[in-house]
Amino acid sequence: MKKTNPGTATVREPTARMTRARAAAFRASGGTTHLETVKQENLKQTLSKNSKRAALDEANNNAPGTAGVQLKRRAVLKDVTNVFCDSYKNCLVAAKKNSTRSKKNSANVSKVVPAVAVQVQHMPADSTLQVAQGTGRTVIKSREVERPMKFEGNMLCQTEISVKGSAIDNLQPGKHNPDQVPSQLQSFSKRDEVGLCGKLMISIDPDVADIDSNHKDSQLCSLYAPDIYINLRVVELTRRPSTNFMESIQRDISQSMRGILVDWLVEVSEEYKLVPDTLYLTVHFVDLFLSQNYIERQKLQLLGITCMLIASKYEEICAPRVEELCFITDNTYTREEVLKMEREVLNYLCFRLSAPTTKTFLRRFLRAAQASYKTPCIELEFLANYLAELTLLDYEFLKFLPSITAASAVFLARWTLDQSGHPWNATVAHYTNYKASDLKTAVHALRDLHLNAKGCPLNAIRAKYKQEKYKSVAALSSPELLQTLF
């Protein structure tokens, strides 16, 4: 028999897995300390293999061990309920009971339950009405808008627009209301079977040149130009001044005073080298304000420079300062007066400064007219601009739409430079959407204005276009208009 140290108790190592209770019993009985290290390593390996460890399985409960030590079975995650929500705890308990069972709380615990593919049942198109009736929803239409659609080539466009509403039907022509559509819109969109959109966007006529074929120059906006000018043709009907405000609203100013103001504004625009769009927009703002607001003659020049200030801020890169505009009026008005008038004008316009003018359409129409020349005719461009600026002086030209005025300027300019052929070809008629007969009244009025320009005391525009840089087109005279042209 082997001898042992009488002072040391004999302790056998258990064959089962070490627990904390067993380790405490070994320490109380003076067991060796390496058993605790073995116990810690066993626990780490077990936890790393399964984070959702169930109760410790005592495979051999009858294994010899220390007397008086009670072995207990523990479910670690089941008892620790203060660090998990109830739904997560239930999922873990269910996973412990049956790992292959589908989980009920898959939406809350995405890491425990695998993702489930959801099948969406597509409803047929004719079942939309049934669903709407089943839910009890009611569709309310406050205004009916009919938009018949027509195909022109490969492009789908809205060729006819008719708006039904009592407020729109009773619109006053001279009343400035940007939110309403005048009654002229219906006749404008129903002029022919093809419609405005179809005629402007695509043409199957081989005589019509494509002026939007250049896609390399981004400034031409070739892809969007047809849509842009369709929108401008509609906007020019809604944002136009009254044609009789001198007779109905104004009592202290006259047509000649307005002409003197415009002539002076031309000189100011030349002094500050403003772009032509600024001049046209300035006159447009003046006419819009005078259409609904009474003004005294002492304030007319103040209105002119204020509208030029607003237009410069909208069109120019570097707009003139308020002090410069006050100085050019010989300090007749102070800075505070200009700023006060600016607030009044902007409030009346509702800060809607975008409006199509004659210059806006003139660019497009001149491009269509130049398509018939092998090389661009610079005299045609200068003469058309000269005739268009002359209309700014005449109050009577407010009755014509800006697009009609621009088309008439191109018509008369082509006839003045060349009487060998008809000035209105298929390309110009296509892109302006005007026939020669539509321009008869405006062209005759423009020719009379051109012939009387030499005797007119307002010579700022004539002096401007007498310069060599404009090819002295102001010295040209308009020939007689033949009846066969229309």
Q: Is the pLDDT of residue 292 over 70?
A: yes
Judged against a pLDDT cut of 70, whether residue 383 lies above it is answered with yes
What pLDDT does residue 55 have? 44
Average of per-residue pLDDT across 252-268: 95
pLDDT at res. 42 = 62
Q: Once rounded to an integer, what is the mean pLDDT over residues 81-98?
A: 47
Radius of gyration (C-alpha) of the chain in whole angstroms = 44
List the one residue out of 388, 371, 480 whose CA is nearest residue 442: 388
Residue range 259-272: mean pLDDT, rounded: 95
pLDDT per position as a tens digit, 328-353: 999 999 999 999 999 999 999 999 99
Residue 21: predicted pLDDT: 73
pLDDT digits (tens, 9 = 90+) for 184-202: 444 444 444 344 444 444 5
Q: Report pLDDT digits (tens) over 442-460.
A: 999 999 999 987 678 888 9
Distance CA 268, CA 286 (A): 15
Average pLDDT of the chain is: 73
pLDDT for the residue numbered 18:
65
Domains of the chain by start residue, with CATH = 1-55+69-88 (no CATH), 145-217 (no CATH), 245-349 (1.10.472.10), 358-485 (1.10.472.10)
**pLDDT over 90 for what percent of the chain?**
47
304: β partners: none
Q: H/E/C letters for each residue in the chain? A: CCCCCCCCCCCCCCCCCCCHHHHHHHHHCCCCCHHHHHHHHHHHHHHHHCCCCCCCCCCCCCCCCCCCCCCCCCCHHHHCCCCCCHHHHHHHHHHHHCCCCCCCCCCCCCCCCCCCCCCCCCCCHHHHHHHHHHHCCCCCCCCCEECCEEEECCEEEECCCEECCHHHHCCCCCCCCCCCCCCHHHHHHCCCCCHHHHHHHCCCCCCCCCCCCCCCCHHHCCCCHHHHHHHHHHHHHHCCCCCCHHHHCCCCCCHHHHHHHHHHHHHHHHHCCCCHHHHHHHHHHHHHHHHHCCCCHHHHHHHHHHHHHHHHHHHCCCCCCHHHHHHHCCCCCCHHHHHHHHHHHHHHHCCCCCCCCHHHHHHHHHHHHHCCCCCCCHHHHHHHHHHHHHHHHCHHHHHCCHHHHHHHHHHHHHHHHCCCCCCCCHHHHHHHCCCHHHHHHHHHHHHHHHHCCCCCCCCHHHHHCCCHHHCCHHHCCCCCCCHHHC
Dig out the tokens for 225 from the structure.
Answer: 């130009």
Among 407, 397, 387, residue whose Cα is nearest residue 470: 387
pLDDT tens per residue across span 110-163: 443 344 343 444 444 444 434 334 444 433 333 333 433 333 333 333 333 333
Query: Mean pLDDT lowest for which of 23-32, 85-94, 222-231?
Result: 85-94
* Highest mean predicted confidence (pLDDT) among 159-173, 434-448, 451-465: 434-448
Quick: pLDDT tens for 207-224. Answer: 788 888 878 888 778 888
CA distance 424 to 369: 9
pTM above 0.85, yes or no: no
Point out the least confidently predicted range of 98-102, 310-314, 377-381, 442-446.
98-102
Residue 52 has what pLDDT?
44
Q: Is the pLDDT of residue 405 over 70?
A: yes
> Quick one: what percent of the chain has pLDDT higher than 70?
59
What pLDDT score does 34 carry?
Answer: 53
Q: Does pLDDT of 79 surpass 50?
A: no
Range with the largest mean pLDDT of 1-5, 179-183, 285-289: 285-289
User: Is 257's pLDDT higher than 60?
Assistant: yes
Average pLDDT, stretch 44-53? Answer: 52
Residue 372 confidence (pLDDT): 84
